[in-house]
Amino acid sequence: MSSRPQLSNAAAALTHEVEVMDERGRISTIAIPAERPLTVYVDKRELVTLMTLGGAPEALVLGYLRNQRLVKSLEDIASVQVDWSVDAVAVTTRHGIANVEERTSRRVVTTGCGQGSVFGGLMDDVDAITLDPGARLKQSVLYRIVDTIRTQPSIYKQAGSVHGCALFSAEGELIHFVEDVGRHNAVDAIAGKMWLDGMEGHDKVFYTTGRLTSEMVIKGAQMGIPFLLSRSGTTQMGHMVADKLGMSLLARCTGKHFLLLTGKERLQFEPGLAEQTRRVA
């Protein structure tokens, strides 16, 4: 891709071993998520500190800038350099960010964990977003996605205390899987990876282990993704935004069970599939 930014390759260790004592006084060693701060500087101006595992810090920062609507094009960024010795990342843009003080002065505290604020109004750009009206998802593909997540090796299975997000094709092929201390960091990292790959979202499916709040729905929409799946639930505002956009919101996705809340015309039910799989199980 032309004008691709220069990136460091600073992925950090995802777990940290600690000594614990159980209820019988027995000593053992377990792995816990290796949470660390990452302070983002854009053109030498401190912007925000993100708490992260650090597995994909460059993609996280790119996705953060994209989803906060501070940078419109990947070509606007000259470099992203992470230095864990000072827990910081230096982002250099080619032409600066217009009105950056004004655009970062207003924050909305959200329900996120790990990263819970966004610049500006949550709803500012929603009316300008159009999702592919022809995108469809087969029920069998939905089941394939849920099963892939169930069997995916993860930090959560090893150490717990993290959220995971994944990007799938419309055929159910896993494209990206990212875990972090907060689901917002994980979705931002996937947005950054999509940006670097020049990947569109109109024929993709997004899965998260966390709840589908308004901010998560808006971020999915900004990525152009018409399908959001969660093993958790949604919020009233998340539901309202998804319904406004015509996005398919699917909650409580475990096993063969799911709840389709919005965008019902997008899901292609396959008669007898749920009953058939239940009998086989």
CATH code, domain with 66: 3.10.20.10
CA 24 to chain centre: 40
Confidence at residue 76, expressed as pLDDT on a 0 to 100 scale: 94
**Whole-angstrom distance, CA of residue 71 vs CA of residue 59:** 14
Is residue 74 a contact partner of residue 1, using CB atoms and an 8 Å limit?
yes
Q: Which residues fall within 8 angstroms of residue 3, CB to CB, at 6 or more apart?
A: 74, 75
Q: HSE of 55 in the Cβ direction (CA atoms, 13 Å)?
A: 23
Q: Residue 5 carries which DSSP code?
A: P
Q: Is 24 helix (H, G, I), strand (E, B) or coil?
A: coil
The amino acid occupying position 196 is: L
**Whole-angstrom distance, CA of residue 64 vs CA of residue 193:** 11
Domains identified in the chain, total number: 2
Domain-terminating residue out of 123, 149, 182: 123
In a domain, 268, yes or no: yes
The DSSP bridge partners found for residue 174 are 168
Is residue 224 a contact partner of residue 132, using CB atoms and an 8 Å limit?
yes
Is residue 57 a contact partner of residue 87, using CB atoms and an 8 Å limit?
no
For residues 82 and 11, membership in a common domain is answered with yes
Q: HSE of 99 in the Cβ direction (CA atoms, 13 Å)?
A: 7
Q: Which residues fall within 8 angstroms of residue 196, CB to CB, at 6 or more apart?
A: 1, 4, 59, 62, 74
pLDDT in tens, the chain (281 residues): 457 899 999 999 999 898 998 878 899 998 888 889 999 999 999 998 999 999 999 999 999 999 888 998 999 999 999 999 999 999 999 998 887 776 666 554 444 444 445 555 556 678 889 999 999 999 999 999 999 999 998 887 887 778 899 999 999 999 999 999 888 899 999 999 999 999 999 999 999 998 898 889 999 999 999 999 999 989 888 899 999 999 999 999 999 999 999 999 999 999 888 876 555 44
Closest to 118 (Cα-Cα) out of 222, 24, 4, 200: 222
Which CATH number is 276's domain given? 3.40.140.10
In a domain, 188, yes or no: yes
For residues 153 and 98, membership in a common domain is answered with no
Q: Is 252 helix (H, G, I), strand (E, B) or coil?
A: strand
- Name the residue range of residue 103's domain: 6-123
Q: HSE of 14 in the Cβ direction (CA atoms, 13 Å)?
A: 17
Q: Dihedral, CA atoms, 193, 199, 201, 206, nearest 10 degrees?
A: -30
Cα–Cα distances in angstroms (integers) from residue 80 to residues 6, 60, 75, 155, in the given order: 6, 10, 12, 25
Question: What token pair was written down for 146?
Answer: 């849920």
The DSSP bridge partners found for residue 251 are 259
Confidence at residue 229, expressed as pLDDT on a 0 to 100 scale: 97
In a domain, 130, yes or no: no
For residues 152 and 72, membership in a common domain is answered with no
For residues 68 and 149, membership in a common domain is answered with no
Closest to 206 (Cα-Cα) out of 181, 223, 185, 182: 223
Is residue 178 a contact partner of residue 155, using CB atoms and an 8 Å limit?
no
The amino acid occupying position 181 is: V
For residues 144 and 270, membership in a common domain is answered with yes
Is residue 46 a contact partner of residue 91, using CB atoms and an 8 Å limit?
no
In a domain, 128, yes or no: no
**Whole-angstrom distance, CA of residue 280 vs CA of residue 255:** 13
